[in-house]
Amino acid sequence: MKVTFPHMGNLWICLEAMLEYLGVETVVPPPSTKKTLSLGSKHAPEFACMPLKLNLGNFMEASDLGADTILMAGGCGPCRFGYYAQVEYEILCDLGYRYSLVVMEPPERHISEFLARIRQITGNRSWLEVIRGIKFGYQKARAVDGLEMTAMRLRPREIDPGSTDAALSAALEEIAGARRPEDLPPAIGRAREIMGGVPVEDRPVIRVGLVGEIYTVLEPFANLEIEKKLGRLGVEVDRSIYLSEWINDHLFMGLIRGMRSSSLYKKSASPYLRHFVGGHGLETMGGAVYYNSLGYDGVIQILPFTCMPEIVAQSILPGFSRDTGMPVITLISDEQSGDAGLQTRIEAFVDLLAEKKRRKEWSA
């Protein structure tokens, strides 16, 4: 059995760690590229959203590397994603790929359901080992998130353009390279050291909260590297969703306390939206309110074209913006989106935020 899974930002680092710890042979798909997207778009339904197309491309490319089992997330609810595992699997079957499919549905009642599904992959390892494996993967997710947060803080302040991103990829390699749980703490130490070596200067920055659909928020290929682009324009970014928070919320059912969680967003969204609308629509709305309460300068919503839950949030955001004076922009990404269009919009948005901030400081 050679297990593969779709890419979503740096998710691969923690999944690979978890699976290899448990002795499961793993095939990480090549990073998502234009080739991945064209493979996926060719065989996916036109009207499906971009994540489906990229997942499909990832699986096709992983198959070339020998993968034979797909580990995929599922879900239930208004978002179509809940059915993507099955749809992708059917498309792959039609194309003649020989895969078997294991879907990780979020536990409906108890974490034991989730553990039972893990066993499908891990066979007869002891429960203790399985739990240790999950813990190892989760600790890597925390480490990765920490490094990404550092990078988002450094980018607008770096003296030498591009040095943060070079440091970030070197630091992530350290984390990815830790084979055993005991290797992880020293690897984290080295990674932090690498990030600490980026020369920065104290500059006034603009703070922007990135909200939206999880895949487009987390996957740089899907959002055309918006964090990097914003960073280079002097913007410090925070995103409403991090990998480790998502794992805690959806797979551990919030077992780990003291973390920012979706209940925070649910609470802050309540003046505007009080229902689950599928996907991350509620989190998007709550995130916007949350960033406003923290005094951020602007909010950027990002979603894949045709994403229903985010369209719900998108239609509420102008009202929020009117009430609070918080500038909000919505960016839609799909396989047709161009880099130039995104660049123009974010440059204009950053100009707007900078001017607004300058006026506010004058009048203060």
**33 lines the binding site for another protein (CB under 8 A):** yes
For residues 17 and 178, give the distance between their C-alpha atoms in angstroms, rounded to a whole number: 8
The site for another protein, by CB under 8 A, has a size of 40
For residues 276 and 195, give the distance between their C-alpha atoms in angstroms, rounded to a whole number: 38
- Segment near another protein (CB under 8 A); pick from 91-99, 143-151, 261-269, 314-322: 314-322
**348 lines the binding site for another protein (CB under 8 A):** yes
Window 215-274: residues binding another protein (CB under 8 A): 225, 232-234
Quick one: 124 or 336, whose CB is closer to another protein?
336
Which of 47, 336, 362, 364 binds another protein (CB under 8 A)? It is 336
With tokens 């505007």, the residue in question is 272
Least distance (Å) from another protein to the CB of residue 201?
11
Inter-residue contact 37 to 14 (CB < 8 Å): no
Least distance (Å) from another protein to the CB of residue 183?
28
**42 lines the binding site for another protein (CB under 8 A):** no
**203 lines the binding site for another protein (CB under 8 A):** yes
**356 lines the binding site for another protein (CB under 8 A):** yes
Burial of 279 (0-12, 13-18, 19+ CB in 10 A): buried
Least distance (Å) from another protein to the CB of residue 352?
5
Quick one: 179 or 203, whose CB is closer to another protein?
203
Structure-block tokens of residue 286: 């709550």
Q: End-to-end distance of the chain based on CA atoms, in angstroms?
A: 64
For residues 333 and 36, give the distance between their C-alpha atoms in angstroms, rounded to a whole number: 16
Chain centre distance of CA 146: 14
Dihedral, CA atoms, 43, 46, 48, 52, nearest 10 degrees?
A: 30
Within 10 A of 78 (CB to CB), how many other CB atoms are there?
Answer: 15
Least distance (Å) from another protein to the CB of residue 234?
4
Least distance (Å) from another protein to the CB of residue 223?
13
User: DSSP labels for 313-359?
Assistant: HHHHHHHHHHHH---EEEEEE-TT--HHHHHHHHHHHHHHHHHHHHH
Least distance (Å) from another protein to the CB of residue 351?
4
Residues that bind another protein (CB under 8 A): 30-31, 33-36, 161-162, 165, 203-206, 225, 232-234, 305, 315, 318, 321-322, 327, 332, 336, 340-341, 343-345, 347-352, 354-356, 359
